[in-house]
Amino acid sequence: DAKTTQPPSMDCAEGRAANLPCNHSTISGNEYVYWYRQIHSQGPQYIIHGLKNNETNEMASLIITEDRKSSTLILPHATLRDTAVYYCIVETNFGNEKLTFGTGTRLTIIP
């Protein structure tokens, strides 16, 4: 069973904030939320991860709900180069984990 559920596709206007949702209702207390993206014909790129607090870095912000059953990745000012498939992954952080990629959300930035 998939640990996460994401919409298959989304559009966002260039310059606007892109908000990508992810449901992970069965997440356990020691599991983190990771976000990666894959631009066409390239390897995936790590974006951000978090446990329960909201996180921000130079690429994006991650908002995790208080019950941790869902999260939102926010790209504050989307550009055309942000067009990609975005993957939300839930995994522990003990050191031996593997990343399991679901189908992700195909985000298209519209000029």
**Shortest distance in whole angstroms from residue 92 CB to other proteins:** 7
The residues binding other proteins (CB under 8 A) are 32, 34, 38, 41-46, 49, 87, 89, 91-104
72 phi and psi angles, rounded to 5 deg: -135, 130
**Shortest distance in whole angstroms from residue 91 CB to other proteins:** 5
Which run of H or of E encompasses 86?
strand 84-92
Nearer to other proteins, 35 or 78 (CB): 35
Q: In the β-sheet with 31-38, what is the strand arrangement from edge to edge?
A: 9-13, 105-110, 84-92, 31-38, 45-50
Nearer to other proteins, 31 or 82 (CB): 31
